[in-house]
C-alpha cells in the first residue's frame, strides 16, 4: 500500500498535490481522525487517477465517505468541460441513479412503537426484496420504454402516487434526453420484471423517527419535528442500470482507443462528452436514471398502502408525504463558475449527493429559501441525517456533498466477522426490528461494516458544504 501524499488545507480538507500526469490536484473532505479509514483501501489513488482525465476542471474531489470503487472512487466528484472533457460510466457507477427518498408522516414515535413489527412485516410483504426479486407489475415492452422516458411521471400517471410527489424529486423525477433505442435487449429484459423492487446489497426501506433537531427553522421548512415518524427508501435502477453500465463500458473501452485517451486505469474508460459514444451513453444513462426514479415512486406507493394496513388508519391520518429524493450515481450537464467564468460542465457524482444552495432554480420552490435537502443514510443500527446544501458547496464542490456512511469492511469480511452472531436479536435489543431476504444480507450490512455516519456528516458540516438539520433513529428496517 502506498503512503498517501496529503497536504492539509484546513481541518476538514486535504489536498493531493498535482504531480506526474495529473491535470488538477485532488481534494478529499475528511477530519484528521477519519484519514486512516479514508486511505485504508487506497481509494485516494483513484482520486489522483481521475485527475489525469481530459477536460477535468478545478479538482478531482472526494467526500468523507470515500472508498474504493470501479475506476472512480465511491464518494467521488469530478467535473469536465463539455467542449474538451469526457464522460465515463465508471464515474457514474453500476447502480445508475441509486438514490434516497425521505418520507415524513403525521405520526409520532409513540403511535408506531407497539406496532413496529406489523409495519415492517407489511412492508416486507409489499415490496419484493433481494437478488433477482421480481415486482408486482407485468410490463409490456412498450410500457417499459415509456418508463425509461417518463420516470416517476409514468408511475403517478398510472395511479402509483400523487402529482405533488414529483415536485420533491431531483430532476422532477424525469431526466431529459432518455432514448430507449440505445438500450440493449438484454437490459430491457433484465429491467422489465424488476420495477418496484428493492434489490440486494445495501438497499433498504427504514422506518424511524426524528431523534434530534439541530436547526428548528430548517426542520420546520422541511415539515419535520421531533419524534415524527419518517421512512427512508434507498434503492436504484436494479439489473437494468447494471446492464446499461456493462454494455457501455464495452463501448467506452473502444472509444478511449479511438480518441487516443490515455488511461491510468482501464476502468476509467470514457469518451468525449460531445462524441457519438458520449452522447449515446448520456441517453442510455438517462433511461436508467428514469427507471430508478420510477422504481422509488412505486415503492413509495406500496409503502403508503403497507402503513395503512398495518396501522389500521386512513391515508389522511398517516399522511405520508415526500420530503425529497436525491440521486447518488449520476452524471449531469450543469452550469458552474470556474475561476470567475461560467462554464457548462459534465459533473460526475458517484456515491455523492447534489447539494445546491438557497436560491438555486433547480431547488424545488418550496425549499428554495433554505437550499436543497440532503439525505444521508447511515447503517441499520445507528442513525441517518438530514442536511441542506450551501453556497460554499456550489463554490468548492460543484454543489456536492457526501451520500452515506461508506464501508470499512468488504462484504466478505463482514460475513466472516458476523459468523456465530444473531444480528437480528442484537438489533432488536436496541429497539430495531429488521427483516432481510437472507442471513447473508444481514451479515453483509451489519453496522460495524460501515463508518460511523456521524463522523462523515460532521466533516461536511464542518467544511461548510452542507448544514445539519436533523438526526433520524431507526426503529424497523427491511433489507434487500
403 is an active site residue: yes
Which class for 32: exposed (0-12), middle (13-18), buried (19 or more C-beta within 10 A)? exposed
CA Rg, the chain, in Å? 21
Dihedral sign from CA coordinates of 298, 299, 304, 310: positive
Per-residue pLDDT, averaged over 439-446, amounts to 85
Question: How confident is the model over 70-111, as pLDDT tens digits?
Answer: 999 999 999 999 999 999 999 999 999 999 999 999 999 999
What's the pLDDT score for residue 334? 98
Reference 397, options 456, 464, 478; nearest CA is 464
The alpha carbon of 2 is separated from its chain's Cα centroid by a whole number of angstroms, namely 29
What's the pLDDT score for residue 442? 84
Question: How confident is the model over 366-414, as pLDDT tens digits?
Answer: 999 999 999 999 988 899 999 999 999 999 999 999 999 888 888 888 8
**Is pLDDT at 479 greater than 90 in this prediction?**
no
What's the pLDDT score for residue 444? 87
In whole angstroms, how far apart are CA 20 and each of 51, 115, 246?
10, 60, 30
Question: How confident is the model over 191-250, as pLDDT tens digits?
Answer: 999 999 988 778 999 999 999 999 999 999 999 999 999 999 999 999 999 999 999 999
In whole angstroms, how far apart are CA 322 and each of 35, 145, 384?
35, 26, 17
Tell me which of 309-318, 419-428, 448-457 is least confident: 419-428
- How many Å apart are CA 329 and CA 352, to the nearest integer? 7
Share the mean pLDDT of the chain.
Answer: 94
- How many Å apart are CA 205 and CA 201, to the nearest integer? 12
Model-level pTM? 0.96
Strand 13-16 vs strand 26-29: parallel, antiparallel, or unpaired? antiparallel
What's the pLDDT score for residue 130? 66
What's the pLDDT score for residue 1? 47
Confidence of residue 5 (pLDDT cuts 50, 70, 90): confident
What's the pLDDT score for residue 2? 57
Question: How confident is the model over 297-355, as pLDDT tens digits?
Answer: 999 999 999 999 999 999 999 999 999 999 999 999 999 999 999 999 999 999 999 99
**Is pLDDT at 132 greater than 70 in this prediction?**
no
Q: Which residues lie below 8 Å from residue 142, measured CB to CB, with a gap of 6+?
A: none
What's the pLDDT score for residue 183? 98
Of 67, 328, 348, 403, the catalytic one is 403
pLDDT above 70 covers a percentage of the chain that reads 99
| DSSP label of 96 | T
Q: In the structure grid, which three cell numbers stand for residue 398, read together?
A: 460543484
**Is pLDDT at 418 greater than 50 in this prediction?**
yes
Amino acid at each position: 500500500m502506498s503512503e498517501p501524499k496529503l497536504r492539509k488545507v484546513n481541518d476538514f480538507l486535504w489536498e493531493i498535490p498535482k504531480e506526474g500526469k495529473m491535470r488538477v490536484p485532488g481534494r478529499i473532505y475528511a477530519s484528521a481522525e477519519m484519514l486512516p479509514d479514508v486511505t485504508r483501501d487506497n481509494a485516494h489513488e483513484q482520486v489522483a487517477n481521475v485527475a489525469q482525465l481530459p477536460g477535468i476542471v478545478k479538482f478531482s474531489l472526494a467526500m468523507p465517505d470515500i472508498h474504493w470503487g470501479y475506476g472512480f472512487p465511491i464518494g467521488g466528484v469530478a467535473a469536465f468541460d463539455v467542449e474538451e472533457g469526457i464522460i465515463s460510466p465508471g464515474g457514474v457507477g453500476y447502480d445508475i441513479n441509486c438514490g434516497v427518498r425521505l418520507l415524513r408522516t403525521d405520526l409520532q414515535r409513540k403511535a408506531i412503537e407497539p406496532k413496529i413489527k406489523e409495519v415492517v412485516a407489511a412492508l416486507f410483504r409489499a415490496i419484493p426484496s433481494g437478488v433477482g426479486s421480481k415486482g408486482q407489475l407485468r410490463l409490456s415492452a412498450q410500457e417499459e420504454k415509456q418508463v425509461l422516458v417518463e420516470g416517476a411521471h409514468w408511475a403517478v400517471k398510472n395511479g402509483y402516487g400523487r402529482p405533488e410527489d414529483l415536485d420533491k424529486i431531483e430532476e422532477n423525477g424525469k431526466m431529459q434526453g432518455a432514448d430507449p433505442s440505445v438500450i440493449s435487449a438484454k437490459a430491457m429484459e433484465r429491467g422489465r420484471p424488476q420495477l418496484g423492487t428493492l434489490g440486494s446489497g445495501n438497499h433498504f426501506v427504514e422506518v424511524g423517527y426524528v431523534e434530534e433537531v439541530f436547526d428548528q427553522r430548517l426542520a420546520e421548512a422541511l415539515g419535520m419535528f421531533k419524534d415524527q415518524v419518517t421512512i427512508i427508501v434507498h434503492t436504484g435502477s436494479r439489473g437494468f442500470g447494471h446492464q446499461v453500465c456493462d454494455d457501455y463500458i464495452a463501448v467506452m473501452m473502444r472509444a478511449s482507443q479511438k480518441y487516443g485517451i490515455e488511461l491510468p486505469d482501464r476502468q476509467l474508460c470514457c469518451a468525449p462528452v460531445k462524441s457519438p459514444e458520449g452522447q449515446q451513453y448520456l441517453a442510455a444513462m438517462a433511461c436508467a436514471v428514469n427507471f430508478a426514479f420510477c422504481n422509488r415512486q412505486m415503492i413509495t406507493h406500496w409503502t403508503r398502502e403497507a402503513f395503512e394496513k398495518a396501522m389500521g388508519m386512513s391515508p389522511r391520518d398517516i399522511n405520508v408525504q415526500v420530503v425529497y429524493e436525491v440521486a447518488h450515481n449520476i452524471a449531469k450537464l450543469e452550469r458552474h463558475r470556474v475561476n470567475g467564468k461560467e462554464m457548462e460542465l459534465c459533473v460526475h457524482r458517484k456515491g455523492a449527493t447534489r447539494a445546491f444552495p438557497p436560491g438555486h432554480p433547480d431547488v424545488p420552490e418550496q425549499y428554495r429559501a433554505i437550499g436543497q435537502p440532503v439525505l444521508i443514510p447511515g447503517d441499520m443500527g445507528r442513525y441517518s441525517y438530514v442536511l441542506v446544501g450551501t453556497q460554499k458547496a456550489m463554490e468548492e464542490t460543484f454543489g456536492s456533498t457526501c451520500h452515506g456512511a461508506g464501508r470499512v469492511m468488504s462484504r466478505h469480511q463482514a460475513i466472516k466477522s458476523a459468523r456465530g452472531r444473531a444480528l437480528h436479536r442484537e438489533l432488536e435489543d436496541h429497539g430495531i426490528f429488521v427483516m432481510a431476504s437472507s442471513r447473508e444480507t444481514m451479515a453483509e450490512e451489519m453496522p460495524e461494516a460501515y463508518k460511523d455516519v456521524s463522523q462523515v456528516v460532521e466533516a461536511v458540516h464542518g467544511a461548510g458544504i452542507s448544514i445539519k438539520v436533523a438526526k433520524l433513529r431507526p426503529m424497523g428496517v427491511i433489507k434487500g
